[in-house]
Structure 1
Amino acid sequence: MIICFDSGNSRIKWGVHDGNAWLAQGAVAHADVAELASLPARWDRPERVMLANVAGAEAAQRIRQQLQAWAPQFCDVQPVAERAGVTNLYRNPAQLGVDRWCALIGAHGLFPRDSIVVMAGTATTIDSLDAAGTFLGGMILPGLDLMRRALARDTAGLAYADGQYAAQPRCTDDAIVTGCIEAQAGAIERAWTRLNAGDALCVLSGGNAELIGKYLVIPHVLAHNLPLEGLRQLAAEP
């Protein structure tokens, strides 16, 4: 049994895999990390506990404190030049975010073809991956909520927008929400156009994936919790 943890900017996602299928998945806010303490009592001691953490050393320490029973099985994942069939062409491979690294591994394992791998959460990352598993490069932009908060914080007359997408927005809230969605979709579609060799796929994951996917005009698929899938694949390696 493999237990995987993806500690992101906002939440800690977790999953339990028995080698054939996911038995359970869940998520807690960082403020509620104590809720993880119930997991060791619910699951037998796993073979490995995989952690991908982008929330800082203190967050990782708090997670470990709640899971002391699994301490001997813990494995902190870090990005490297090559693992699990994926080659990392980042100028300094270690500087690639570990959540992006795991998402790329997860996407390549599920869809071994030219792909744009999108993680749409607090930030949106848009990464290009070819069919051979080579990570060519990628982009980072503010997520939908960060875009709206930036306008509310840094402009005098714009509150945090609670509008709807519209082809021709006719109120300010709708104009902001539409602009943010169009910015996300446009960046994704531009990356896809650069990569596309006729059958490239856009793989969407993260809390805003389903919303953004509604407005894309390129082939795409939802793949929830891609970093967990990547962690599972890493755990399965010798």
Structure 2
Amino acid sequence: MIVAIDAGNTRIKWGLRHAGEWLEKGALATSDAPWLVEAAEDWPADATIVVCNVAGDAVAAAIRQSLGTRAASARWLHPGAAQCGVENRYQPPQRLGADRWAALIGARALVGDACLVVCAGTATTIDVLDGDGVFQGGVILPGLDLMRRSLATATAQLPYANGEFRELPRSTDDAIVSGCLHAQAGAIERLHRTLPAGAPCLLTGGSAPLLAERLALPLRCVDNLVLEGLAEFAAEVAPADQSESA
């Protein structure tokens, strides 16, 4: 049995997995991290616990507190030069976000060939994974909500827009929402052109449904690619220096 925990900037997602199947999944706001203890009470005592955290030290501490005595045996995913069939060419490898690393590992397990890995959450990351499992590089953009919020907070008259996508918008709200979606989709399609023809784009994250409607390329939506990567990490014998104790 595996418990995978993905602590992101906005939400903490978790999943209970057995025999290659997700039995249960849940989520809560990252600001409510201490409440993870309620979910943890129902997890099997002998489950392998793996964690990916990009939300900072306070959230890491809250997760460890929620795990209680099991915190000492939990495995925390930290980017390195290579793992689970993926080679990391980030400079230096350890500076890559743990969530991006987990997503790349998950993509490799699901596709096994060249693909584009897009995580559309608080930030949008677009990463290129080649056919040999080598992470060649990628980009980071503000997510859709951050793009809209930046226009609302950094300008005098533009709103936090709640418009709809239009090819040729004729209202300010629609113009902002459409512009943000065009920007995200355009960046994804440009990076996709660096891959061989027919390579899929794996799309995950809270804004994935909105982006999927705008993308004209081979597309596969994955409910939570980071959890998929954590499951692969759990299946591999984790080195001792990747564990964190309370």
Same fold at TM > 0.5 = yes
Q: What is the aligned partner in structure 1 of residue 55 from structure 2?
A: 55
Secondary structure class of the residue paired with 1:177: helix
Q: Does 1:229 align with 2:204?
A: no
Residue 158 of structure 2 aligns with an amino acid whose one-letter code is L
Contact 1:113 1:201 in 2 (8 A): no
How many angstroms does 1:48 deviate by? Answer: 1.7
Secondary structure class of the residue paired with 2:79: coil
How many angstroms does 1:33 deviate by? Answer: 2.0
Residue 236 of structure 1 aligns with an amino acid whose one-letter code is A
- Unaligned regions of 5+ residues in structure 1, if any? none
- What TM-score comes out, normalization by structure 1 length? 0.97
How many angstroms does 1:35 deviate by? Answer: 2.6
- Unaligned regions of 5+ residues in structure 2, if any? 238-246
Contact 1:102 1:226 in 2 (8 A): yes
- Which shows bigger deviation, 36-45 or 166-175? 36-45
Residue 139 of structure 1 aligns with an amino acid whose one-letter code is V
Contact 1:124 1:141 in 2 (8 A): yes
How many angstroms does 1:199 deviate by? Answer: 1.8
Q: Does 1:162 align with 2:162?
A: yes
How many angstroms does 1:160 deviate by? Answer: 0.5
Q: Aligned partners of 2:212 and 2:76: how far apart in 1? A: 31
How many angstroms does 1:132 deviate by? Answer: 1.3
Q: Aligned partners of 2:40 and 2:152: how far apart in 1? A: 42
Secondary structure class of the residue paired with 2:168: coil
Secondary structure class of the residue paired with 2:3: strand
How many angstroms does 1:46 deviate by? Answer: 3.3
Q: What is the aligned partner in structure 2 of residue 27 from structure 1?
A: 27
Residue 42 of structure 1 aligns with an amino acid whose one-letter code is D
Q: What is the aligned partner in structure 1 of residue 191 from structure 2?
A: 191
Contact 1:102 1:231 in 2 (8 A): yes
RMSD: 1.0
Secondary structure class of the residue paired with 1:36: helix
How many angstroms does 1:39 deviate by? Answer: 2.5
Residue 224 of structure 2 aligns with an amino acid whose one-letter code is N
Secondary structure class of the residue paired with 2:193: helix
Q: Deviations over 1:188-217 (max 9, x none)?
A: 00000122x122110000000111010101
Residue 130 of structure 2 aligns with an amino acid whose one-letter code is D
Structure 1 residues 46 and 227 mapped into 2: Cα distance closer, same or farther (>3 Å)? farther
Q: What is the aligned partner in structure 2 of residue 17 from structure 1?
A: 17
Contact 2:79 2:101 in 1 (8 A): yes
Residue 200 of structure 1 aligns with an amino acid whose one-letter code is A
Identity of aligned residues (%): 49
Residue 49 of structure 2 aligns with an amino acid whose one-letter code is V
Q: Aligned partners of 2:127 and 2:61: how far apart in 1? A: 29
Q: What is the aligned partner in structure 1 of residue 86 from structure 2?
A: 86
Q: Deviations over 1:102-153 (max 9, x none)?
A: 0000011001121110000000000000121110000000000000000001
Residue 115 of structure 2 aligns with an amino acid whose one-letter code is S
How many angstroms does 1:67 deviate by? Answer: 1.5
Q: Does 1:37 align with 2:37?
A: yes
Residue 36 of structure 2 aligns with an amino acid whose one-letter code is L
How many angstroms does 1:47 deviate by? Answer: 3.6
Q: What is the aligned partner in structure 2 of residue 204 from structure 1?
A: 203
Residue 88 of structure 2 aligns with an amino acid whose one-letter code is N
Q: Aligned partners of 2:200 and 2:16: how far apart in 1? A: 27
Q: After TM superposition, where is structure 1 displaced by more than 3 Å over at least 4 residues in a row?
A: none
Contact 2:3 2:43 in 1 (8 A): no
- Which shows bigger deviation, 87-96 or 40-49? 40-49
How many angstroms does 1:64 deviate by? Answer: 1.1
Contact 2:40 2:66 in 1 (8 A): no
Q: What is the aligned partner in structure 2 of residue 140 from structure 1?
A: 140
- What TM-score comes out, normalization by structure 2 length? 0.94
